[in-house]
Amino acid sequence: MEKENMNAKLMTMGAVAGLAMMGTACAGTVTVNGSTTVLPAMQQVAEAFMAAHKDVTVTISGTGSGNGIKALRDKMTDVAMTSRDMKAKETQDFESHGMKPVRFTVAYDAIIPVINKANPVAELSKEQLRDIYAGKIKSWKEVGGDDKPIVVIGRDSSSGTFECWQELVMGKTRVSQRALLQSSSGGVVQAVTSNPNAIGYIGIGYVDGQTKAVKVEGVEATMETAKAKTWPISRDLFLFTIGEPQGDAKALIDFMMSADGQALVQKSGFVPTI
């Protein structure tokens, strides 16, 4: 089952205690929309938050970073989740409508190339990754693997993960039109798991043993290398609101950024900011 559809069940007594100290004066509904990468962490945080604030409902939709930003601009969500920073043109769009987006860094992440567990390849360079996704390298034999065609799995253009991959790996080179695009990180995992010749890329929170993580430039993707930014494909994860958050939305974000909330972020597989 994809992580987007899984109910987060992890919660610590520390998280409950931390929420109790924050008070229970909240009441209402908070809507959260956007990145499927941030989704697992937000699910865990929201579950803990609602356990302590039983009169508050947090509804979460994983539609992609770009769609989350659009929903925030259109006032269809209280909070946008993104796996990339807001673009200058997006910020200008908000400002042209008299709105000021406010950003919160809630986790660090590493984008990790993953292959099928049956594939013997263990390491790739950024140049090799770029050439694979551009369609220049077509066989695993060219990078030390078997003489099999490479099946390229990517993310669709509404994904912040796609945009970070484009910026950090591809540069000005375009992804091949033959790439099979997925609408979610869970979809990438499923596609790579089911095809022995596939390669995809996912956030560190989605590395769960179903696929094989590949070293890049000799560096292994771990919590430590992601936080130290020594992993070659690292990024920050964000929440955005229109103006400074108020009420229930503020309480939810404050909890996610607290020590107890960050413990849940780490349990969901991401690197905490504190």
What's residue 74's pLDDT? 98
Q: What is the CATH number of the domain that holds 142?
A: 3.40.190.10
- Looking at the fold, whether 159 and 52 belong to one and the same domain comes out as no
Query: Does residue 274 sit within a domain?
Result: no
Residue 207 domain boundaries: 109-227
Which residues sit opposite 212 in a β-bridge? 115
**127 and 85 within one domain:** no
Same domain as 114, residue 103: no
Determine, yes or no, domain membership for 273.
Answer: no
- Condensed to tens digits (0 to 9), the pLDDT of residues 49-64 reads 999 999 999 999 999 9
Residues 62-70 have a mean pLDDT of 96
pLDDT band at 228 (very low <50, low <70, confident <90, very high): confident
Are 177 and 219 part of one and the same domain?
Answer: yes
Q: 74 — alpha (psi -120 to 50), left (phi > 0) or beta?
A: alpha
Predicted confidence band of residue 227 (pLDDT cuts 50, 70, 90): confident
**Domain membership flag for residue 272:** no
High-pLDDT (> 70) share of the chain, %: 90
Confidence at residue 223, expressed as pLDDT on a 0 to 100 scale: 87
User: Whole-angstrom Cα distance, residue 56 to residue 28?
Assistant: 5
Q: Are 121 and 257 found together in one domain?
A: no
How many degrees, rounded to 5, is the angle at CA 65 between CA 264 and CA 160? 95
Compute the mean pLDDT over every residue in the chain, rounded to the nearest whole number: 91
Q: Sorting pLDDT into bands at 50, 70 and 90, what band is 158? A: confident
Q: Please indicate, yes or no, whether residues 95 and 161 belong to a single structural domain of this protein.
A: no
Q: Does residue 249 form part of some domain?
A: yes
Q: Are residues 145 and 222 both part of a single domain?
A: yes
**What is the average per-residue pLDDT within 236-252?**
98
Residues 254, 218 within the same domain: no
Mark whether 121 and 218 lie in a shared domain.
yes
Check whether residue 54 and residue 150 sit in a common domain: no
Asked whether residue 73 carries a pLDDT value surpassing 60, the answer given is yes
pLDDT tens digit sequence for 2-42: 333 333 333 333 444 444 444 444 469 999 999 999 999 99
What is the tens place of the pLDDT at every residue in 163-202? 999 999 999 999 999 999 999 999 999 999 999 999 999 9
Of 118, 134, 115, 117, nearest in space to 126 by CA: 134
pTM for this entry: 0.76
Please, which residues have CB within 8 angstroms of residue 181's CB and are 6 or more apart in sequence?
154, 155, 156, 157
Q: What are phi and psi of 5, to 5 degrees?
A: -105, 5
> Within this chain, do residues 118 and 219 fall inside the same structural domain, yes or no?
yes
Does 240 lie in the same domain as 193? no
Q: How many domains does the chain have?
A: 2
CA separation for the pair 85, 133 (Å, rounded):
23
